[in-house]
Structure 1
Amino acid sequence: MAATYTPMIQQYLRVKADYQDAFLFFRLGDFYEMFFDDAISASRELEITLTSRDGGAEDRIPMCGVPYHSAPNYIERLIEKGYKVAICEQTEDPKQAKGVVKREVVQLITPGTRMEGKGLNEKENNYIATVSAFEDDTYGFAYSDLSTGETKATIITDGFTSILNELSVSNAKEIVVSSQFSDKWLKKMKERMVLTISIEDDIQTREVFQESVAKLANDRLRETVMRLYNYLYKTQKRSLDHLQLAEVYEVNQFMKIDYFSKKNLELTETMRSNGKKGSLLWLLDETKTAMGSRMLKQWIDRPLINKDAIIERQSMVETFMNHYFEREELRDTLKEVYDLERLAGRVAFGNVNARDLFQLQKSLQQVPKIGHVVNQLTNDVAKQLANQLDPCEDVTDLLERAITDNPPLTIKEGNIIADGFNEALDQYRDATKNGKNWIAQLEKREREKTGIKSLKIGYNRVFGYYIEVTKSNLHLLEEGLYERKQTLTNAERFITPELKEKEALILQAEEKSVELEYTLFLEVREQVKEHIPRIQNLAKLISELDVLQCFSVVSEQRQYHKPTFSSERKIVIEDGRHPVVEKVMNAQEYVANDCYMDDERELLLITGPNMSGKSTYMRQIALTSILAQVGCFVPAKQAVLPIFDQVFTRIGAADDLISGQSTFMVEMLEARNAIVHATENSLILFDEIGRGTSTYDGMALAQAIIEYIHHHIGAKTLFSTHYHELTVLAEELPHLENVHVSAVEQNGKVVFLHKIKEGSADKSYGIHVAQLAELPETLIQRANEILTRLEAKDSTKINATATKIDVQEEAVGQLSFFEEETQAKRGTNIATKERKLLDQLKKLDILEMTPMTALNTLYEIQKKLK
């Protein structure tokens, strides 16, 4: 069938064969065209007109297209939807082509390889990741941000769940695996997160990446990193000099926060809107640079567990707080620093323009100022950072000499190279300028000579320079003075030999000037390219300073205090607050709470009403620990904390519809994840475990989980529950303590005090909460009636076996006492009335009574017998 198509369509099909999983943007003149299924799908996704064309076959071929100049917007929309786009360009001059113009794909754009566009958020990394699976249940994991060149890699030895967690931390938009990768794990990845999956089997070490992988510790790391690098190389089809040496890390070098916990704690986005506002990142982000904001997110995703490293960050935060004026000067300077990381990436990638280079120049000019400010700080760490700041003076000097102060976005129309940078360019510009001055003088002379004041000399690209005279003034021209060139409705245009000669000189100078500027720009770009590693290292240092000053600003504004760390696994928090809730509320309204835990008090069982703040209290303990371990001060009057290796949470209720898991199953999976992986150095937050099933099932599971954590793990645990029956565990488990969130009733309505107190709560106040929600009054009354009846009925069933035994023993003991006492007083023959009362008592179904009812009945009969 292909042989029946026109040569151009056959060419399209040959190219498309290598890009089956991408939209092929096929360049035809000023348009990118799509054909066949691509056209049908693209017309639907982009909402553009679907047409058809004659392709040489019997049926017309579906076709749609987008203009070349507006293609980036359409490409961006497809990438946002998770598609790939292959850009196929003409690679030879159509005028010199013999037959069909040669075309080839020059770049494959994918969700993980974006270098520009609205979808590339300046405050977020755009990672692409790869996973390699090995025989012993070990995995290689690597990820890279093509726009910044950052690359990291690790080996995972504790199963595929850790891979899922690493993917969630990186928030990768695309993942690259081998064609032999397990379908089971691919399915798991798709269930967990929305990402594009790509195949790459090539793991050979290309010469261009030899240095990048030479220092990697083992073959597994090299295989993993090379799979990623080769995919990037094949899709981008150009030099990737800005890719940094792969930084090898170990997962256990940082506090582990699994996917569920990160989501439940709303560290970088909220559960309600999946947006940044309302998250811990939103609260903290007082950075002044885009790259600082990205580093802040990385620090939140990976809190430290190295005490010395944490204290080093704390010391800088404290120093910035003590040097207000220096800090404000630094913040003002940082405002002038553009995104050095991505500017360096664009230089290497070849899509940098003159305005980008001007921004790079302006940014580098700020480095000496930053170094001067930081050097003034009375802190050894600060002085080390200041000494490491490389101002890249040679790069700055080059850009100051080469690039104009207000260059255009385009690099092929001139006006980008500064005067004095190149002698030949200056000569061309002088010729152009003098030529135009000569034109202006000529116009003035011709007006005087002819007496025609409206005479003008103009220019257009078709006819070049010309002398224009209106028809009403033609009679004033001497015969043969000018050579006629063009006739218009109201005027005639002329040329003279002198003007023609000058035109050639001017146009030649302008053309050569533009060509030379482009050549010079490329040379400057290549010279800057040689310094990319220096610029990237500088970007990291500035980003770090930006985040540390940001911590000091937030800590000062929110009245946070520096935490200390206990080697005795103690938690001592005085007047602790939830940082985000406090910001959203008026700070004066937030009720602060204490928390104390040690080796004798490892598990807090929290009871209290709905809406009273149990979940908020639990979250604030976790967020305080995370803030402390990223190096920030914490929302408390005082805080002594252990360094936690992991944080696990089970908070809130949500179905996992994609993987078909119910709310209760999600709850159990999250609980299992914590129980299996937690250590005594972990922090566990469990909120209302067991509520997704029947009362007795839920209570049994909750108690078993509490006992398991207590006996086998020993992790610091906060466990909130409405199962008040569990509070008796404090008598059996020596390391468990009851606390509750207090509330009081006033005029029949509940008032939440949001204060954590010792001991257990007496009731849940659920109906009071319904009343606050303004449910109909008749419904509230009916609920109270039902509650009274259920409590009376339910009290006979709680601890049923123990209750029956206790009541039975009491009844038998009382009967024996009554009979002995009566016989002693009245003799062997008991009075008829008394005998009837004893018989009546024996016939009572006392085991169906509540304990209090049974004892009250015995008491009444005892009185009658007496």
Structure 2
Amino acid sequence: MSDPAAQKETGQKGSTEKPGKITPAMQQFYDAKKQYPDCVIFFRMGDFYETFCDDARICARVLDITLTSRGRMPDGQEIPLAGVPYHALDTYLSRMISKGYKVAICEQVEDPKKAKGIVKRAVVRVVTPGTVIDAALLSTEKARYLMAVYPDLKKKRVGLSFIDISIGDFQFTEIPSQDMNDGIRSEAARYHPSECIVPEGTGEDLIRFLHLALSLVSSQNPTLFTQESAEEALCRQFGIKEPEDLPCAGYPAGTIAAGAALLYAQKTQFDSLSHIRSVHRSDIGSQLVLDAVTLRNLEVLQNIRDRTEEGTLVATIDMTLTPMGRRLLRRRIAAPLLDPGAINRRLDAVSYCIDRSAVRDEVRTRIHRFPDLERIAGRVSYGNASPRDLVTLASANESVKNLKLVFSTEHDIPEELSDAIAGIRDITPLADIITKAIVEDPPALVRKGGVIQDGYHEELDHLRTISRNGKQWIADLEQQEKERTGIKSLKIKYNAVFGYYIEITKANLASVPDDYERRQTTANGERYTVPALREMESQIATADERLLSLEEEIFKEILELASKEVPALQEIAHAIGKIDLYAGLAEAALKHQYVRPELVDEPTLLIREGRHPVVESSIGGGFVPNDAELSAGSDQILIITGANMAGKSTYMRSVALSIILAQMGSYVPATYARVGVVDRIFTRVGAFDDLASGQSTFMVEMIELATILNHATERSLVVLDEIGRGTSTLDGYCIAKAVLEHLHGKRSKGPRCLFATHFHEIVGIEADLKRVRNCHFAVKETDKDVIFLRKLVPGATDRSYGIHVAQLAGVPASVVTRSEELMKRIMSGEDLMGGSVKRYTQMILLDAGNDPVRESRPDPLREELRSLQVNEITPMQALTILSGLQEKARHP
């Protein structure tokens, strides 16, 4: 596993070091570990990266490699060791990062051949899940963010920052501290950070929450999270003299979070990251808020089943062709807009691409398989771009120029597209240099040589001539010596220890000429040299060594020229992403027969023949469309009853998804859509336990319900599915009714709400609340079967057809038959649900028994119920009162 040449340094087996004595190399390791205690140290020794002690145990387990032990600790215990070949570093790094580990690369920083004593080593970079920039470690086109959290409890604000150093995207925002957990969870759901940093000393509650919500959280030195260090770092990064001129000025908590994220990224990369040119505020106030619960329930970015994109909204409408377009689509679908004007500008661009089919087809042809220019620009800036990156960049230039030509003869181009086209810069001079300098199909690594074209550099050509001619000269010498000596098996060979030599087998030793100089005896014969061979060997070795170093020098010069064009490359990448997105949305609209929505700045919603985009695409036809009509001033709340499996949940989700599509600037699945801009979508659907935080299904439901009732506005959309099903029937009914009354309120307007329920008794509330309407999904009954028509019709229903659904699900026939018998008996009054019970825990079902004294005196529970002002209490107060009454009923 390990490099034998490094054994002396580590004091491994075969070393003369006494047990307990730390070798100089191991001291280097301990020094690196002290400097980076939270990292696994990859310690370069010869042809391997070695890991020691606990790091070795981790690597052996994670990488499935052999764990050995060589050398001894000061206490006499053997040192655990595991190593990986240096040429396979990226493969093993990728596996470590994917498992959430940080890795510090401790490299040999001087030539071992020239070192006097121990080879100098130093950590040259730290690779963490949130600061990956290497192409080999970025396995997907998705953005990879580092998140920084700074809670400013004095000012009751929390600063959040997200930075993706692979593409240079840098965002910040602030949230009120009272909404800290919800805000962090929601922003994390949008960005999916791979790593999170917080200042040391952060409260245990927040740390515990972050560990539950995110995969990797680490505490950093508080000096990283100061206003002074943040402003200094950001001003230096963006070339700004005064902190007041920073894009984050006026947001102190956000500024500190942004500064900490930048400093941490620079510290891990040992680089200024000059391609990060600005920081932008993620303005929650200008966006449709989709919190983590809503993103999950509506399966916008990830499905609930296995957290992948399969069966999600983003996967359904994604017809982009470039990595930049895909990332932009994901950003926009997670943060739709509120401004109808801005939304319509995006829709204008989509409409243009729909109407100009020839332009759209040409654009998509030009950008098909376009490279990830954002990440190439990042690697160019960082200095680790490969020869293939530069060749890819140069070849993309032709597509860029042709793309601009597509629009050169077009008129009335919408603003969004026009701005994008203006961002397409001319990088032809750089592309020409790359094409002239680098071979058409270069190796992945410059250190292997063969990267620079013949004829590009005079000295390089001369060295190649010496190398090629020298090797031919050796081949000619071998033939001459065969003829001179008469030894047909004579060979001239090469190895790293002896260089070039003439090999003669034992059977031919008598024919060796006197001028041959013996160099080594082997089991099969002897090895010789001659003065002319030694001289040529020296020339070839010098030429080959200089050849590789000169190629690296030339490549670095080209890389330096390319780094000056990074801003232009980023502008091109952003332009391509926008054009790709609009053409892709147009393609999706045509494929799925979507319609352009009409956006208005009033609390109304009208959708004709709306469909669920994901369900419709998965069933391949036959989806039954439905209308949706809501208004904060009239039909504010829609109570939806009906059969299980009839389509209630699908309908409500389809309405919410259509709003998301409309406000992100996409066409929607309907024949007509008039969307009054929604400021936030709330959802309470499904049921699950949050066992990690000790919360039951019902508690999770109530917490989510509390968030909705405390934050919904007249411009919100509230989607409630089966509120109160996690508790007793009576409690659930009371909660559901109280929630409806609260959402309706006494005002003239309220949040638009879709309310699905199996509490059929609740439909009578339509008579009491003027902005509530009942509807249900139609069912056709025959003598033998029940047919779900999937059509929403006015009015209520009192049937759920649960037994029929159970039969469809494969419940044993005996259970289904018995269920039907029980249902008939209960419906006819022959049987009472629950039988005869002497004492009930429900407050309105108390059995007074036959005690005449109790019957004659006032019942305190009844008196307390009579005194309640139902319309003046909140749902959460109702819960507290119910709990108290129930406790009194249990212990009279």
TM-score between the two structures when normalised by the length of structure 1: 0.86
Residue matched to 2:352: 319
Q: Structure 2 residue aligned with 1:209, among 233, 237, 241?
A: 237
- Please say which of residues 284-293 and 453-462 is displaced more in the overlay: 453-462
Where does residue 630 of structure 1 map in the other structure? 664
Tell me what 2:130 maps to: 112
The answer to whether the 8 Å contact 2:57/2:80 transfers is yes
Matched letter for residue 518 of structure 1: E
Which residue does the alignment assign to 1:400?
A: 435
Instruction: Tell whether the 8 Å contact from 2:420 to 2:576 is kept in structure 1 after alignment.
Output: no
Evaluate the alpha carbon distance shift between residue 667 and residue 479 of structure 1 in structure 2; reply closer, same or farther with a 3 A threshold.
closer
1:731 aligns to 2:782 (yes or no): no
Evaluate the alpha carbon distance shift between residue 458 and residue 15 of structure 1 in structure 2; reply closer, same or farther with a 3 A threshold. closer
Q: Quote the Cα distance in structure 2 between the aligned partners of 1:800 and 1:91.
A: 78
The aligned counterpart of 2:878 is none
Which AA in structure 1 matches 2:160? F
1:229 alignment partner in structure 2: 262
User: Judging changes above 3 Å, is the alpha-carbon distance between structure 1 residues 78 and 462 closer, same or farther for their aligned structure 2 residues?
Assistant: closer
Given that 1:122 and 1:290 are in contact with CA atoms closer than 8 Å, whether structure 2 keeps it comes out as: no
Cα distance in 1 between the residues matched to 2:628 and 2:155: 43
- For the residues of structure 1 that align with 2:526 and 2:402, how far apart are their CA atoms? 62
Q: 1:522 to 1:758 in 2, by over 3 A?
A: same
Offset from partner CA, 1:174-221 (integer Å, 9 cap, x none): 111111322222222222333323324223124753627752323444
Q: Which string of whole-angstrom CA distances, capped at 9 and with x for unpartnered residues, describes residues 475-527 of structure 1?
A: 9x895586666777888776555454444333333322211111111121122
The equivalent of 1:783 in structure 2 is: 819
Give the drift of 1:441. 5.6
Residue 84 of structure 1 aligns with which residue? 102
Q: Which one of 357, 375, 384 corresponds to residue 390 of structure 2? A: 357
**1:405-804 matches, cutoff 5 A:** 405-439=440-474, 459-465=494-500, 497-587=531-621, 589-598=622-631, 599-711=633-745, 714-791=750-827, 792=829, 793=832
- Give the structure 2 partner of residue 162 of structure 1: 183
* 166 and 756 in structure 1: CA distance in 2 versus 1, 3 angstrom threshold: same
Stretch deviating more after TM superposition (101-110 or 428-437): 428-437
Q: In 1, Cα distance between the equivalents of 2:94 and 2:487?
A: 56
CA, structure 1 residues 361+180, in 2 after alignment: closer, same or farther (shift >3 Å)? Answer: same
CA contact (8 A) 2:90 2:136 kept: no
Question: Match for 1:179: what amino acid?
Answer: E
Distance 2:72 2:519 in 1: 45
Q: Which entry has the higher C-alpha Rg, 1 or 2?
A: 1
Residue of structure 2 aligned with 1:25, choices 25, 29, 42:
42
- Equivalent of 2:198, from 177, 196, 199? 177
Q: Deviations over 1:686-732 (max 9, x none)?
A: 00011111111111111111111111661111000011111111111
**Per-residue Cα deviation, 1:760-787 (whole angstroms, up to 9, x for no partner):** 1231111111111232222112112222
Give CA-to-partner distance per residue, 1:715-750, whole Å, 9 cap, x none. Answer: 111000011111111111111111111112122321
Aligned identity (percent) is: 37
Match of 1:820 in 2: none
Structure 1 unaligned residues grouped into runs of 5+: 803-866
Measured at CA, do residues 119 and 11 of structure 1 come closer, stay the same or move farther in structure 2, by a change above 3 Å? closer
Secondary structure, counterpart of 1:159 in structure 2: helix
SS class of match (1:129) = strand
> Per-residue deviation at 1:470?
7.6
Q: State the distance in 1 between where 2:489 and 2:30 align.
A: 60
Letter in 2 for 1:142: S
Q: Which moved more, 1:377-386 or 1:152-161?
A: 377-386
Kindly state the Cα deviation for residue 283 of structure 1 after the two structures are TM-superposed.
0.9
Q: Match of 2:567, SS?
A: helix
CA distance in 1, matches of 2:699, 2:644: 23
Residue 297 of structure 1, CA deviation: 0.8
Identify the range of structure 1 (664-673 vs 207-216) with the bigger mean alpha-carbon deviation: 207-216
Pair 1:790–1:694, CA change in 2 (3 A) = farther
Does the residue aligned with 1:17 lie in a helix, a strand or coil? helix
Report the Cα offset of residue 73 of structure 1: 3.3
Q: What residue number does 2:13 align with?
A: none
1:698 aligned counterpart, secondary structure: helix
Superposition TM-score, scaled by structure 2 size: 0.83
The 1-side partners of 2:203 and 2:391 are apart by 48
Deviation by residue 1:519-566 (Cα, 9 ceiling, x = unmatched): 111121122112212211211111111111111111111111111123
1:442 shift after superposition: 5.6
Deviation per CA, 1:658-713: give whole Å up to 9, x if none: 11111111111111112211211111110001111111111111111111111166
Question: Aligned partners of 2:59 and 2:812: how far apart in 1?
Answer: 53
Between the aligned partners of 1:584 and 1:478, the Cα distance in structure 2 is: 81
How far apart, in 2, do the equivalents of 1:180 and 1:416 lie? 51
Q: 1:331 aligned to 2:364?
A: yes
Aligned residue pairs: how many?
798
Q: Using the alignment, how far apart are the partners of 1:483 and 1:516 within structure 2? A: 34
Please give the secondary structure, in 2, of the residue aligned with 1:555. helix
- Structure 2, unmatched stretches of 5+, are 1-18, 837-841, 846-892
Other structure's SS at 2:692 match: coil
Q: Secondary structure at the match of 1:639?
A: strand
Query: RMSD over aligned Cα, in angstroms?
Result: 3.1
Which deviations, in whole Å up to 9, do the C-alpha atoms of 1:455-491 show, x marking residues without a partner? 766555455456677888889x895586666777888
**Preserved CA contact (<8 Å) 1:31 1:67:** yes
TM-aligned CA deviation for residue 108 of structure 1:
2.1
Shift of residue 247, structure 1, vs aligned partner: 1.3
Q: Which residue of 1 aligns with 2:171?
A: 152
Between 1:303-312 and 1:16-25, the stretch displaced more is 16-25
Native 8 Å contact 2:349 2:414 kept in 1? no
Change in Cα spacing, 1:301 to 1:522, as seen in structure 2 (3 Å) is: same
Query: Aligned residue for 1:34?
Result: 51
